[in-house]
Structure 1
Amino acid sequence: MLPTFTLHYARLPARFHERFDPVPVASPALVAFNRPLAEELGFDLDAYDEALATEVFSGNRVPDGAEPLAMAYAGHQFGNFVPRLGDGRAVLLGEVTDRRGRLRDIQLKGGGRTPFSRGGDGRAPLGPVLREYLVSEAMHAMGIPTTRALAAVTTGERVIRRIPEPGAILTRVAASHIRVGTFQYFAGRGDIEGLRELADHVIARHYPELADSEHLNRLEGERYLALIEAIQARQATLIARWMGVGFIHGVMNTDNMSIAGETIDFGPCAFMEAYHPRTVFSSIDEGGRYAYGNQPGIGQWNLARLAETLLPLIDEDQERAVAKATEVLETYPARFETEKLAVMRAKLGLAREEEDDGELIESLLEAMQAGRADFTLTFRQLSDVAASAESEPALFDLFERTEAIQAWLGRWRERLAREAAAPDEIVRRMCAANPKYIPRNHRVQEALTAADDGDFGPFETLREVLSRPFDEQPGREEYALPAAPSEQVFRTFCGT
């Protein structure tokens, strides 16, 4: 049933990780299995055995060929450097080669206390496991690079967070679990050879074009400088796509930034409803460091921390190394703005580029903020307005104040008139860029609360709705609606 495991990360030197078998659980039960993803990974679904799957995904049985380990890393947490973090509850089983020839990590999250647990129990509550399952799969369905959820298993045990909660384990799939904090782990120890080995591993696996470049191979320092630039490009694209769906990661610490350019670690994440750039949901982000509008700047800050770790590999002369890295980092704002403009143009049905598009987009956001309009529904409703002016009243109903949006609509129509596309093509493009269904906080919480009581029906329904975020789904329109005042969720929590 299972694909063949390979052990690329496990074959790195011992200081990169700690060998660790998952701690068995009392009474595992499989509550979610992602069959399409399993097929993509090369599972033999004709030979699927739920009992075996439950044993493997709970950590009660180590699959043949796997050598489970906990990865070492450090990280800046809310700006404060912690030199030793590591996988405190996650266990990397190994990698598999999927049907497209890509290496994919398979990791159990909640597998028990590891040598990096720092006093924690190494377990995961059911709520955060199902939140990550729902949100990561929704992100994938919206076309945003992300880690994915293969399975969720309840453990038959209770874990203590704020209150006793059912325990669970998530099986997570990723292009990589290497983070900026992984580089920081070796830099903090002055381990230059470890940094070089890590950087070469990342290049070979994730950026092979850098390894294949004759020019970069002649100039070793330039190869590591190019690595920063390549990671920066993926991060700019990723955050621009987050912004396009109103996603707030909630905890953009350097140990939560994947060098593969995927969304990783869905702790106190949430989707914004009424638009405001300072929106925060995370219970631990008291100062708003990771608010919606701060995410692009935090991305650059995290990239600067990555660049600092690679300075010894870029140039033996530190001043020259700093100057070279700074030159790369200074291109980030323009790169991000280019990516953001591309995302937002698509949301507004614009294929050609005009100089004033940025101002047009910002004016819309200002109108949404003034009117406290729902981010997702405003863009989706604009596709209806593009199809017919008769849909304008439904758009205005989303706004507490309509003066600004009414004035903006005229400018947008003038801009659409300059597009070399028929109206129905513009509408089609907009519907493909603007999801109707997102993991709204109150719907996610509703599913998690029911699951804590043993009812997984709301979770399954929501999972199905979110698998087709751009489609009209007759009979499920309530899943597209923002929370009523009594349903609003203002705080989200980590699972640790």
Structure 2
Amino acid sequence: MSTPTNTDRFPAPSPAPFKLEARFASDLPEMSAAWQGEEQPAPELMLLNEDLAHLLGLDPDWLRTPAGVEFLLGLNPSPTTKMVAQGYAGHQFGQFVPSLGDGRALLLGEIQAPDGTLRDLHLKGSGRTQFSRGADGRAALGPILREYIISEAMHALGVPTTRSLAVLTTGRKIQRGQVVPGAVLVRVATSHIRVGSFQYANITGGIDLSRRLADHAISRHFPELDEPRTEGPDRYVGMFNRVMDAQNQTVAQWMRLGFIHGVMNTDNTLISGETIDYGPCAFMERYRDGAVFSSIDTHGRYRYSSQPAIIGWNLARLVETLLPLLGETPDDGMDTAQELMGTYADRYQKAFHREMAGSLGVSPDAPGAEELIGAYVSLLRAHSPDLTMLNRALSDWSEDSVAPEGFGEWITHWWSFTPDLEAMQRINPIYVPRNHLVEEALDDATEGDWEAFHTLLSLVTNPFEHRPGHERFEQPSPEGFEDDYMTYCGT
């Protein structure tokens, strides 16, 4: 397939005050295709995350110029070295698809931020690529805004996540059940290397490509394995251990906060541990192990309570791709993989225990902490409280507070631990992107009224500080709203 070029369209683009790198494209040319965004009829920059732009060393004023907007759409080659669509595979709801890739996305390149971190700049909704499989490669404004607001909320909550730099409307109307405005999201990650990337490398390039991808991933995420360089199987065992710990930490935070990802396919599992793809996702209000908010998860594979097991399953798919690298012989590699996966359940449980202990303001090593946490989870299951409100109520507890129904005896026991309320107030939010508020904000913005969106964004990106006059943003959704609430993948 021929590669589009923008030489004719933009013969002399405005010089950019920065230059992106193309390490992924250079190191792994077999895993990407040179590409660019499609021309848009009437693009407009609707949201720009200035704090994130400054963190990346980007000038917000330049990004607002015509050349900057072209760059954010993948049309201005001046700041880029090589824009590519990445190839990857994936298990989607348990079914393996050997060739997925960036069907509506584009890696602009990597930027060296002032703090020394290398980060990807990546587009979503930028048009067809060779991986589109017949789709139009575009995205609707509503789902793009969902990703912006929830990813930035997750960052404010301290959860590892991709972030959102900008939203641009394209001037197109696209068909998604109904005709809706088209949009492009510019998102940022420490990389977009997925479990599905390793699956793709394994089936297309075998051990050589798998090793090169692993070495690239180590240089991006685990440089301590390069300084001094760890050799042989220990190098790749070290990488996998770090990926496992990163994923366990992230999912444990999801569980503490009541976040349900909704589409935990292996192509949506980044080895960095950052949360990616905020399509059919939601924050659970009424605590339920079986909560599902994804319209496409008809069998509940990715329900709230299954998320720890699913991330273990995804990690098992990753370690399968590394077998030739984990031992001097195939049998050695298999034995090592089994040993690594045998540690998963205990390691996840320790991560979850640390998260919950922090949420309750107790030391994870305190005598009786494990029993205290276990009893708390049992009460959540029995009484289905609003999780955010309960955790925050405990954070603000005093001798005069009234215990929720069913929690009185447990609270007396918890209080005997002398919980650190100030520490709890720093991690138990007042504001999360509650589903009814998100839908209200997205509906209004799609119709051209951005007030609700900006109000909600300001609250969820400063989630631990009470804002007088915004009490309704602290309250659960209307009675019955969650019973049949569904979110959609946005494709």
| Cα distance change on mapping 1:13 and 1:139 into 2, 3 Å | closer
Q: Decide whether the 8 Å contact of 1:40 with 1:98 is kept in 2.
A: yes
| Cα deviation, residue 46, structure 1 | 5.8
Task: Give the letter for the 1:169 counterpart.
Answer: V
How far does residue 159 in structure 1 lie from its aligned partner after superposition? Answer: 1.6
**Equivalent runs, 1:340-379 vs 2, <5 Å:** 340-351=352-363, 353-379=365-391
Alignment of 1:28-47 (within 5 A): 28-45=43-60, 47=62
Q: Residues 268-309 of structure 1, C-alpha deviation per residue, up to 9 Å, x if partnerless?
A: 010000011111101111111111111111111111100000
Contact 1:25–1:59 (8 Å) recurs in 2: no
Q: Among the aligned pairs, what percent are the same residue?
A: 44
- 1:306-345 alignment runs, 5 A limit: 306-345=318-357
Give the distance between the partners of 1:52 and 1:389, measured in 2 at CA: 60
Q: Are residue 156 (structure 1) and residue 171 (structure 2) matched?
A: yes
Structure-1 separation of matches of 2:388 and 2:29? 47
Rounded to whole Å, the distance in 2 between the matches of 1:104 and 1:226 is 22
Show the counterpart of 1:422. none
Q: TM-score, normalised by structure 1?
A: 0.92
| 1:74 to 2:89 alignment | yes
1:454 aligns with 2:456: no
Could you give the per-residue CA deviations for residues 124-156 of structure 1, whole angstroms, max 9, x where no partner exists? 011110000000000000111110000000111
Please name the residue that 2:465 is paired with. 471
Residues 30-109 of structure 1 aligned to structure 2 (within 5 Å): 30-45=45-60, 47=62, 49-109=64-124
Using the alignment, how far apart are the partners of 1:89 and 1:155 within structure 2?
14
Structure 1 equivalent of residue 413 of structure 2? 411
Matched residue, 2:5? none
- How far apart, in 1, do the equivalents of 2:85 and 2:58 lie? 24
Change beyond 3 A, Cα 1:46–1:74: closer
Corresponding residue for residue 291 of structure 1 = 303
Cα distance per residue 1:315-355 (max 9 Å; x no partner): 25222211111111211211111111111111111135234
Gaps of at least 5 residues in structure 2 are: 1-15
Distance in structure 2 (CA, Å) of the matches to 1:34 and 1:64: 19
**Shift of the alpha carbon at 1:439?**
0.7
Measured in 1, the distance between the counterparts of 2:371 and 2:68 equals 52
The separation in 1 between residues aligned to 2:451 and 2:69, in whole angstroms, is 20
Q: 240, 245, 248: which is aligned to 1:228?
A: 240
Which one of 207, 212, 217 corresponds to residue 197 of structure 1? 212
The offset of 1:47, in angstroms, is 5.0
Q: How far apart in 1 are the matches of 2:467 and 2:351?
A: 30
Structure-2 separation of matches of 1:355 and 1:234: 27
* Contact preservation (8 Å) 2:151, 2:161: yes
2:437 is aligned to: 443
d(CA) in 1 for partners of 2:478 and 2:399?
A: 28
CA–CA distance in structure 2, aligned partners of residues 4 and 247 of structure 1: 36
Residue 147 of structure 1 aligns with which residue? 162
- The match for 2:488 is 493
Report the alpha carbon displacement of residue 101 of structure 1 after superposing the two structures with TM: 0.3
Residue 279 of structure 2 aligns to a residue whose secondary structure is coil
Indicate the structure with greater helix content. Answer: 1
Q: Quick one: which amino acid aligns to residue 433 of structure 2?
A: P
| Aligned 1:1-16 pairs, distance under 5 A | 2-16=17-31
Displacement of 1:362 in angstroms is 2.5
Cα distance in 2 between the residues matched to 1:115 and 1:193: 24
Q: Per-residue deviation at 1:203?
A: 0.8
- Which ranges of structure 1 fall in alignment gaps of 5 or more residues? 397-401, 420-425
- Per-residue deviation, 1:48: 5.4
Determine the structure 2 residue equivalent to 1:380. 392
How far the C-alpha of 1:164 sits from its partner, in A, is: 1.6
- Distance (Å, rounded) in 1 between the aligned partners of 2:436 and 2:195: 32
Query: Per the alignment, do residues 23 and 347 of structure 1 end up closer, same or farther by CA in structure 2, a change over 3 Å counting?
Result: same
Letter in 1 for 2:380: M
Could you tell which deviates more after superposition, 175-184 or 449-458? 449-458
Describe the SS at the equivalent of 1:5: coil
Of residues 114-123 and 45-54 in structure 1, the stretch that sits farther from structure 2 once superposed is 45-54
What CA deviation, in whole Å up to 9, does each residue of 1:371-407 have, x standing for no partner?
Answer: 221011000001222xx13221xx52xxxxx2x3122
The farther-off stretch of 119-128 and 58-67 is 58-67
For these two proteins, the number of residue pairs brought into alignment is 475
**One-letter amino acid of the counterpart of residue 409, structure 2:** A
User: What corresponds to 1:113 in structure 2?
Assistant: 128
Alignment of 1:394-405 (within 5 A): 395-396=403-404, 402=405, 404-405=406-407
Task: Report what 1:389 is aligned to.
Answer: 399
Please give the alpha-carbon distance, in whole angstroms, between the structure 1 residues aligned to 2:80 and 2:33: 17
Q: 1:460: how far off?
A: 1.1
Q: Deviations over 1:18-40 (max 9, x none)?
A: 11111111111111000000000
The question of whether the paired residues in 2 share the 8 Å contact of 1:2 and 1:42 is answered with no
Q: Out of 422, 426, 429, which is 1:432 matched to?
A: 426
Question: Displacement, 1:185?
Answer: 0.5
Root-mean-square deviation (CA, aligned residues, Å) is: 1.6
Answer yes or no: is the 8 Å Cα contact 2:358–2:364 preserved in 1: no
Q: Is the 8 A contact 1:275 1:365 kept in 2?
A: no
1:126 aligns with 2:141: yes
| 2: CA distance, partners of 1:48 / 1:262 | 25
TM-score by length of 2: 0.93
- Distance in 1, Cα, partners of 2:28 & 2:222: 21
What SS does the aligned partner of 1:191 have? helix
